[in-house]
């Protein structure tokens, strides 16, 4: 029998419902796996085993009565930027200290209402700023994946690197994550998982530690397309506590998984063929096109002419919003405080200098600069104009196609220590993912192949606003054709 931790979420839900095993059993199996693996993988930054077992017992009682929600009894992990009542929430920043929220984020509240069980809080880049998870105050997680014949530690991506590590190493059935410029999809690609960022406004941002409010969206990291649909259905809702929450019903996406893509029109944006893209990424992309064609889709070349301005625009808009959102961390209201010589300003300065890491400080400086009186028009306003053009590009493309197919990332996962340390090099990793955030569109990453070095590679499907359905269908078609079954060798168990 497959170990309980190796089940997909869908298979686990079946087993729980038919009472082949209990929530306590599958939760205990995960807790044991975490205790054994976490010292090496550093996926979880806070463990909540007592809470998990109490939730599991409550789920078992409901299941015994023939009741229970859509995720009843399923143990999952939570990225450390979702506020969890009574459980420390830090966004992996020192400035939040031991902050323990007295309230629950809407996304996690929805999951618990559906019967999910919380195993703990997952590692991430500080305030979700990053692509490698190296900026966490708890140190980076280590991807369960390794290059063939090598023991060099590999990044699970970022900012949701802990979520990706935990799901890929079977330390939870699925996890919550968030995506401001690619933080669900890039770790999904790096760790051989499925990750979807829904349309902006589908998931409530209430109780999510804010990075860039007009870009942030919650979504799941999961083992399969079906699992990601099951998670997303439970996470999304209309929420009066978030003014940008959409007032529309949440569809049953899990029923679209497996529906044919026959007749679907898939666009291939030529501007995503960037200079210096490795041959194997090109080949993967062509393979994806061939798979969808064979499944009955029509492939169309499209143009998104403003793509080259997306990354610079993102790195103006995101820091600008961050500088405003992170103004609240002043040592007075939350978390850590470092008092200076006594004046209020001095305490602010000391607290923020000690509490924010280097990359966060760099972004706050950029954000404050581009919003300042003399530069607002030259930078922020221009970036907003670019954003409007990018959205128009997508709208024009979607007049002739139903979805777009691109690689998720310009390379396979990098090894820690192999990147130059130049922040711009790291920012370039977001080249294929930030556009969907700027335009508010749904986008999914699905594992498609292994690189020549044996690391996972992902393909991305971007859909029309509110059309997650097409994303799920196209991703499921790729999943079926790719037959991606590779799993990391469990070296961390040795």
Task: List, by residue number, the catalytic residues.
Answer: 79, 159, 183
Nearer of residues 114 and 179 to ligand GLN, judged by Cβ: 179
Nearer of residues 128 and 225 to ligand GLN, judged by Cβ: 128
Least distance in angstroms from the C-beta of 365 to ligand GLN:
15
Nearer of residues 292 and 443 to ligand GLN, judged by Cβ: 443
128 binds ligand GLN (CB under 6 A): yes
The one segment of 53-61, 84-92, 122-130, 259-267 that binds ligand GLN by CB under 6 A: 122-130
With CB under 6 A as the contact rule, the residue among 107, 129, 218, 316 that binds ligand GLN is: 129
Least distance in angstroms from the C-beta of 8 to ligand GLN:
25
Report the chain's C-alpha Rg in angstroms: 21
Binding mask 410-439 toward ligand GLN (x if CB under 6 A, else -) reads --------------------x---------
Q: From residue 258, how far is each of 253, 254, 480 by CA, in Å?
A: 11, 9, 9
Pairing relationship of beta strands 75-79 and 117-122 according to DSSP bridges: parallel
**What's the rounded Cα separation, in Å, for the pair 338 and 355?**
8
**What's the rounded Cα separation, in Å, for the pair 437 and 179?**
8
Nearer of residues 68 and 182 to ligand GLN, judged by Cβ: 182
From the list 270, 249, 307, 271, the residue with the least C-alpha distance to 436 is 307
Least distance in angstroms from the C-beta of 427 to ligand GLN:
7
**What's the rounded Cα separation, in Å, for the pair 428 and 414?**
13
Identify the helix (H) or strand (E) that includes residue 289: helix 279-294
Nearer of residues 192 and 367 to ligand GLN, judged by Cβ: 367
Q: Hey, what are 90's tokens?
A: 């830090």
Residues 6+ apart with CB under 8 A from 331: 337, 338, 339, 347, 348, 350, 351, 352, 355
Nearer of residues 31 and 129 to ligand GLN, judged by Cβ: 129
Least distance in angstroms from the C-beta of 363 to ligand GLN:
8
Note whether 74 and 9 are within 8 A (CB).
yes
Least distance in angstroms from the C-beta of 117 to ligand GLN:
26
Binding mask 82-121 toward ligand GLN (x if CB under 6 A, else -) reads ----------------------------------------
In sequence order, what E strands does 354-453 have?
403-407, 443-450
Task: Name residues contacting ligand GLN, limited to 194-253 (CB under 6 A).
Answer: 211
Q: How many residues bind ligand GLN (CB under 6 A)?
A: 13
The one segment of 66-74, 127-135, 325-333, 408-416 that binds ligand GLN by CB under 6 A: 127-135
Nearer of residues 242 and 321 to ligand GLN, judged by Cβ: 321
Note whether 156 and 141 are within 8 A (CB).
yes
With CB under 6 A as the contact rule, the residue among 12, 171, 232, 318 that binds ligand GLN is: 318
Nearer of residues 90 and 180 to ligand GLN, judged by Cβ: 180
Residue 45 exposure: Cα atoms within 13 Å on the Cβ side: 31
Collapse the DSSP code of 248 into the 3-class scheme (helix H, G, I; strand E, B; otherwise coil) and give the result. coil
Least distance in angstroms from the C-beta of 103 to ligand GLN:
22
**What's the rounded Cα separation, in Å, for the pair 50 and 361?**
36
Task: Name residues contacting ligand GLN, limited to 161-190 (CB under 6 A).
Answer: 179-183
Q: If you search the block for the tokens 């924010």, which residue do you land on?
A: 356
Question: What backbone torsions phi and psi does residue 47 show, to the nearest 5 degrees?
Answer: -110, 140
Q: Residue number with the shortest CB distance to ligand GLN? A: 183
Note whether 49 and 110 are within 8 A (CB).
no
How far the first Cα of the chain sits from its last, in Å, is: 21
Least distance in angstroms from the C-beta of 183 to ligand GLN:
3
**What's the rounded Cα separation, in Å, for the pair 222 and 212?**
24
**What's the rounded Cα separation, in Å, for the pair 183 and 364?**
19
With CB under 6 A as the contact rule, the residue among 131, 204, 224, 408 that binds ligand GLN is: 131
Least distance in angstroms from the C-beta of 438 to ligand GLN:
12
Give the footprint of ligand GLN on this chain (CB under 6 A). 128-131, 159, 179-183, 211, 318, 430
């Amino acid at each position: 029998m497959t170990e309980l931790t190796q089940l997909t979420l869908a298979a686990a839900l079946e087993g729980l419902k038919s009472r082949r095993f209990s929530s306590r059993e599958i939760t205990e199996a995960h807790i044991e796996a975490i205790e054994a693996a976490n010292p090496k993988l550093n996926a979880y930054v806070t463990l909540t085993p007592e809470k998990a077992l109490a939730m599991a017992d409550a789920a078992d009682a409901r299941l015994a009565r023939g009741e229970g929600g859509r995720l009843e009894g399923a143990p999952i992990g939570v990225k450390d930027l979702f506020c969890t009542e009574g459980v420390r929430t830090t966004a992996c920043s020192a400035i939040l200290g031991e902050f323990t929220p007295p309230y629950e984020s809407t996304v996690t509240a929805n999951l618990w209402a559906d019967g999910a069980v919380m195993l703990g809080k997952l590692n991430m880049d500080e305030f979700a700023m990053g692509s490698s998870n190296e900026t966490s105050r708890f140190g980076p997680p280590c991807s369960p994946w390794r290059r063939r014949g090598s023991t060099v530690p590999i990044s699970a991506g970022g900012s949701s690197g802990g979520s990706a590590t935990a799901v890929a190493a079977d330390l939870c059935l699925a996890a919550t994550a968030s995506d401001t410029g690619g933080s669900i999809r890039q770790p999904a690609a790096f760790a051989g998982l499925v990750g979807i960022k829904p349309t902006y406004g589908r998931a409530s941002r209430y109780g999510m530690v804010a990075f860039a409010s007009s870009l942030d969206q919650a979504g799941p990291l999961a083992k399969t397309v079906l699992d990601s649909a099951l998670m997303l259905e439970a996470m999304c809702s209309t929420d009066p506590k978030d003014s940008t929450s959409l007032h529309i019903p949440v569809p049953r996406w899990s029923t679209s998984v497996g529906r044919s893509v026959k007749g679907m029109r898939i666009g291939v944006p030529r501007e995503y063929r960037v200079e210096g893209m490795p041959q194997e990424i090109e080949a993967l992309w062509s393979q994806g096109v061939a798979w969808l064609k064979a499944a009955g889709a029509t492939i169309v070349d499209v143009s998104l002419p403003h793509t080259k301005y997306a990354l610079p625009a993102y790195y103006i808009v995101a820091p600008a919003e961050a500088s405003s959102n992170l103004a609240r961390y002043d040592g007075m209201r939350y978390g850590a405080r470092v008092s200076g010589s006594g004046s209020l300003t001095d305490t602010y300065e000391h607290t923020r200098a000690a509490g924010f890491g280097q990359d966060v400080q760099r972004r706050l400086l950029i954000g404050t600069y581009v919003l300042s009186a003399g530069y607002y028009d030259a930078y922020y306003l221009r970036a907003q104009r670019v954003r409007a053009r990018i959205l128009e590009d997508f709208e024009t493309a979607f007049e002739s196609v139903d979805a777009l197919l691109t690689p998720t990332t310009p390379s396979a996962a990098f090894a820690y220590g192999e990147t130059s340390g130049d922040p711009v090099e790291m920012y370039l990793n977001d080249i294929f993912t930030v556009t969907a955030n700027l335009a508010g569109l749904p986008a999914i990453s699905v594992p498609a192949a292994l690189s020549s070095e044996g690391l996972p590679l992902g393909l991305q499907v971007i859909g029309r606003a509110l059309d997650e359905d097409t994303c799920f269908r196209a991703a499921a078609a790729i999943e079926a054709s790719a037959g991606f079954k590779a799993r990391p060798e469990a070296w961390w168990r040795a």
